[in-house]
């Protein structure tokens, strides 16, 4: 039996703003923790809120399927944040089939922001606009480069 090879894509993330990444990570972590609490409280048959469950399910699915592919870059980002580095270039080697999951993740976080704006059940606020812009750029870079487009550095994306 032949071993199957996974098609890989090289993704270049250029001039990633480290502090904005860190703020975005902190906000996402807060949101996910709060969504976990909401999902844990919603064990009743009426279903409760779909947005928290959908986001958590998608994160779990992507984590299980693609675990380990970003670990080295997460370590580099954490070190850059600790050292006060302003921006960093990263290269990801990711399975090419991740594009759909990345697209769905972006949509799920956008839905989560709308859920937060309604403010009915959360302490966490909707993602600040600069972090939304960063998230869209970061996730879109993966999808666009997998489809063959060249990398767009953060300053080129923002026009700064």
Contact 98, 146 (CB under 8 A): yes
- Taking only the tens place, the pLDDT of each residue in 61-118 is 766 666 667 789 989 999 999 999 999 999 999 888 888 888 888 888 888 888 777 7
Q: Closest Cα partner for 22 from 103, 72, 69, 83?
A: 83
- Taking only the tens place, the pLDDT of each residue in 9-28 is 999 999 999 999 999 989 88
Question: Phi then psi for 9, rounded to 5 degrees?
Answer: -125, 140
Packing angle of the helix pair 18-41, 129-146 (nearest 10 deg): 100
- Taking only the tens place, the pLDDT of each residue in 42-77 is 554 444 556 666 766 767 776 666 666 778 998 999
């Amino acid at each position: 039996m032949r071993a199957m090879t996974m098609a890989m894509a090289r993704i270049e993330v250029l001039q990633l703003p480290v502090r904005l990444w860190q703020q975005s990570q902190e906000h996402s972590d807060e949101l996910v923790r709060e969504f976990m609490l909401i999902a844990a409280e919603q064990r009743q048959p009426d279903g409760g809120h779909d947005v928290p469950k959908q986001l958590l399910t998608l994160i779990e699915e992507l984590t299980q399927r693609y675990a380990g592919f970003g670990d080295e870059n997460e370590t580099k980002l954490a070190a850059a944040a600790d050292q006060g580095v302003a921006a960093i270039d990263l290269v990801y080697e990711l399975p090419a089939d991740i594009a759909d999951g990345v697209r769905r993740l972006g949509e799920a976080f956008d839905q989560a922001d709308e859920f937060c704006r309604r403010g009915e059940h959360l302490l966490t606020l909707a993602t600040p606009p600069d972090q939304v812009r960063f998230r869209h750029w970061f996730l879109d870079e993966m999808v666009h480069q997998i489809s063959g487009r060249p990398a767009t550095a953060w300053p080129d994306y923002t026009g700064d």
